[in-house]
Amino acid sequence: MLKSEIRALFKEKRKGLSFFEFNRSSKQITDLILKKFDFKNKKVSIFLPIEKHKEFDSYPLLEELIIQGAIPIISKSNFEDCSLSLFRYENISQLEVNAFGIPEPKYGEIVSELLLNIVFVPLLAVDKMGNRVGYGKGFYDKLLAKCNPECLFIGISLFDEFVKIDDINSFDVPLNSCFTPNCYYEF
C-alpha cells in the first residue's frame, strides 16, 4: 500500500478506538517500555500527544522518565521547514498547545539532537523492517537523520500489526525498535 492509503486507514482505525481501548493500549505500552529500559541519566526525546488524533498518551511515561532520573526532551515544530527544535522538559507550565493541537514548549533550554540517547517516535503504522508511516511532513525523519549513530529510535504503535509500505524513499529513517500494546519488536 502507499503511505497515503496507510495513513488514511490507520487514522480511521484510531478514530474507531473506544476510550477504554485507547487507555488500555497506552497503559500496556507504557508498562512494556518501563520493563524494557532503564532511563537513568539518559536524554530521552518524548513526543507529547495530539489528543484529537488519539496519539499514544505519553504523559504517564514522561512522569516515569522524571522519576527514574532521565532528562526528558520535548520538541517544538517549525512548519516552515518541517523541522523540530528540542528543549529540556521542565514542567507542565512550560507547555502550550499550538494551532495543530500539539503540546509544545513556550521556553526552555535548547538541546542538540546529537546529545540524545533515545527518541520515541510517533507513528500511524510500521512495517516489519522498521519503516514507519507518520503524518507525511517528514518532521521526525529530519530529526532522526541528525542524531548520533548510537541513538535508539523507538516507535510506538497503538496497533499490533505490520503493514507493507510500497513507497519507501531515501529520506525515510527506519526505527531500531517498536512497542505495540502487546509486544516489543527489534528491527
User: pLDDT tens, 48-105?
Assistant: 999 999 999 999 999 999 999 999 999 999 999 999 999 999 999 999 999 999 999 9
Give the Cα-Cα-Cα angle 38, 146, 114 (nearest 5 degrees).
Answer: 50
8 Å CB contact between 105 and 89: yes
Kindly report the pTM of this predicted structure.
Answer: 0.95
pLDDT band, residue 132 (cuts 50/70/90)? very high
pLDDT band, residue 127 (cuts 50/70/90)? very high
| pLDDT confidence of residue 37 | 96
For the chain, give the mean pLDDT.
Answer: 97
- In sequence order, what are the beta bridge partners of 44? 72, 118
Q: How far is CA 34 from the centre of its chain?
A: 15
CA pair distance 70, 17, nearest whole angstrom: 31
CA pair distance 75, 28, nearest whole angstrom: 24
| pLDDT confidence of residue 96 | 97
| pLDDT confidence of residue 113 | 98
| pLDDT confidence of residue 87 | 98
| pLDDT confidence of residue 152 | 98
Helix (H, G, I), strand (E, B) or coil at 105: strand
Q: Can you list the pairs that 47-51 forms with residues at least 24 positions away whose Cβ atoms lie under 8 Å?
A: 47/74, 47/75, 47/120, 47/121, 47/122, 48/74, 48/95, 48/102, 48/103, 48/104, 49/103, 50/100, 50/101, 50/102, 51/101
Instruction: For residue 52, give the amino acid letter.
Output: K
Domain extents in the chain? 3-186
3-186 CATH choice from 3.20.20.70, 1.20.140.10, 1.10.3720.10, 3.40.50.10420:
3.40.50.10420
What 8-state DSSP symbol labels residue 112? -
Stretch 139-152: mean pLDDT:
97
pLDDT tens-digit map of 18-27: 999 999 999 9
Stretch 127-133: mean pLDDT:
97
| pLDDT confidence of residue 4 | 97
